[in-house]
Amino acid sequence: MKFLDILSTALTSLWRNKVRTILTILAVFIGSFAISLTSGVNIGVNEFITTQLGSIGAKDLIQVQAKQEDGTATDDDQPKAYNPEKNKQGAAGNFVQLQPKDVEKLKKLNGVKRIETSQEPTFEYVEGQNGKKYQFSASAVVPSFNLKMLAGKAANWDAQEPEVTILENYVKALGYKNNQEAVGKKLSLVIKSAEGEEKTVTATIVGVQEKNALMSSGDGWVNDSFAKEVLAFNQKGLPKSMTENFPVLLVTVKDADAAEKVKDEIVKAGYQASTFEDQVKTILNFVNAVTGGLILFGVISLIAATFGIVNTLFMSVQERTREIGLKKALGLSRGKVFQIFAWEAGLIGFFGSALGLLAAMGTGSIINSLAADSFLSGLPQLTLVQFAVVPSVSIILLIMLIAFLAGALPARRAARLDPIDALRSE
């Protein structure tokens, strides 16, 4: 008996008791549906995060913070004594900040190219050519960021004249017909000092960019010298203790491939450090942990379904005892008998998993459509539920394997039946 004959016999025998087989397949279907749908959500969210954050680039950036003291009390649960030296080191409450001396220390490390502070320029509002005023926030551009431009170019970090890029939703609001028309125009920005003094500055719009759903950089980017000019005016009148403390420093390395090595050196120097990829991995690990927990419910359903498979095949062996005896008396080997029943279990797994996957795909399509029109309308780049060939096929094969193993016990019992005793059975 060839493999195709074994498979054909298993398929025929499987449908002798249609109701029992369908109920068993439905049990597998539930587990497969839950696992497939949750896996689809995992793929969709991971793809979105990887695409959005991965497109930014910034592999040569390291985020540095001062090492923080744990807790607010000593080991005996008493309040900590005041330490004037701690305040000199730049502590805001319990959060220790970095100072200019830390910047100088980090600059001396091998592989460090440039260091930027986390202090950002603040704009009071922006005024368009139509006279309308809008709130506006922008950060100093990071050279290694890959900004997706719809028109023009990204602001040049090294530029000496004020440059600014704006998001696409500002174009028509500021009175321009389209993205191309906005490029090259002068933009009026009003800034305010800590003393309340206002000043109008102008910058050239060099580009219009697409908004990145996960990278919130405000409403645009400005070049470094312009950012420092605005920041200096913002801080006018503030004490040094407020202008020379930095919660975070951005370290740019000379070689992106050596970022991990430089990060280790920074940690050895007594700081907390993380690369951009570390932050992406943290987000992905969180998503995977959540979806992994949901997949567990599908696995529990699948485990329950395996008992149904075992029960179905045991009953099938009991009903077909004389048939098994006759086949063995005619020369069918134990191995072939085992394979027939094992493949019956495998086929139950195949039908249940395939139907569950198809149902998950259909449900995922409906969810994507509803989400795009409701709670995900602001994230057009996100397709919440996605399916890939390899994970989908893997789910089917894994469930078939589990079903095959579940059918091994009743299949073994069928294979061990004595043909004479089987023929005598009623």
Q: Burial letters for 141-165: b for 16+ Cβ neighbours within 10 Å, e otherwise?
A: bbbbbebebbbbebbebebeebbbb
Q: How far is residue 314 from each of residues 109, 321, 344, 412, measured CA to CA in Å?
A: 71, 11, 12, 10
- Least confident span in 65-74, 197-206, 342-351: 65-74
Tens of pLDDT, residue by residue over 14-70, are 888 889 899 999 999 999 999 999 999 999 988 887 776 665 667 788 889 888 765
Is residue 1 very low, low, confident or very high in pLDDT (cuts 50, 70, 90)?
Answer: low
- pLDDT, average across residues 304-310: 89
- Whether 72 shows a pLDDT value over 50: the answer reads no
- Whether 184 shows a pLDDT value over 60: the answer reads yes
- Whether 222 shows a pLDDT value over 80: the answer reads yes
Selection from 58, 68, 56 nearest residue 247 by Cα: 68
**Residues 411 and 306 placed together within one structural domain of the fold:** yes
- Whether 372 shows a pLDDT value over 80: the answer reads yes
**Residues 304 and 356 placed together within one structural domain of the fold:** yes
pLDDT at residue 425, as a whole number? 61
- Structure-token pair, residue 316: 């099938």
**Residues 291 and 266 placed together within one structural domain of the fold:** no
**Residues 133 and 92 placed together within one structural domain of the fold:** yes
Domain of residue 179: give its range.
61-274
What residues contact 385, with CB distance under 8 A and at least 6 apart?
37, 40, 41, 44, 363, 364, 365, 367, 368
pLDDT at residue 316, as a whole number? 83
Is residue 73 very low, low, confident or very high in pLDDT (cuts 50, 70, 90)?
Answer: very low
pLDDT at residue 170, as a whole number? 93
What's the rounded Cα separation, in Å, for the pair 331 and 419? 10
Tens of pLDDT, residue by residue over 129-174, are 888 899 999 988 887 777 788 999 999 989 999 999 999 989 999 9
pLDDT at residue 313, as a whole number? 87
**Cβ proximity of 266 and 106 under 8 Å:** yes
| Mean pLDDT over each residue of the chain, to the nearest integer | 85
**Residues 48 and 84 placed together within one structural domain of the fold:** no
- Whether 207 shows a pLDDT value over 90: the answer reads yes
**Residues 230 and 326 placed together within one structural domain of the fold:** no
pLDDT at residue 77, as a whole number? 53
**Residues 68 and 124 placed together within one structural domain of the fold:** yes
Share of the chain above pLDDT 90, in %: 39
| Strand blocks (E) in 306-417 | none
Selection from 56, 276, 211 nearest residue 146 by Cα: 56
pLDDT at residue 129, as a whole number? 84
Selection from 196, 239, 420 nearest residue 329 by Cα: 420
- Whether 216 shows a pLDDT value over 60: the answer reads no
What's the rounded Cα separation, in Å, for the pair 378 and 368? 13
Is residue 80 very low, low, confident or very high in pLDDT (cuts 50, 70, 90)?
Answer: low
pLDDT at residue 212, as a whole number? 67
Q: Which residue has the higher pLDDT, 70 or 257?
A: 257
Tens of pLDDT, residue by residue over 390-410, are 999 999 999 999 999 998 888
**Residues 270 and 342 placed together within one structural domain of the fold:** no
- pLDDT, average across residues 219-228: 92
**Residues 303 and 219 placed together within one structural domain of the fold:** no
pLDDT at residue 74, as a whole number? 44
What's this model's pTM, rounded to 2 decimal places?
Answer: 0.66
**Residues 68 and 183 placed together within one structural domain of the fold:** yes
**Residues 210 and 307 placed together within one structural domain of the fold:** no
**Residues 35 and 104 placed together within one structural domain of the fold:** no
pLDDT at residue 90, as a whole number? 52
As for how many domains the chain has, the answer is 2
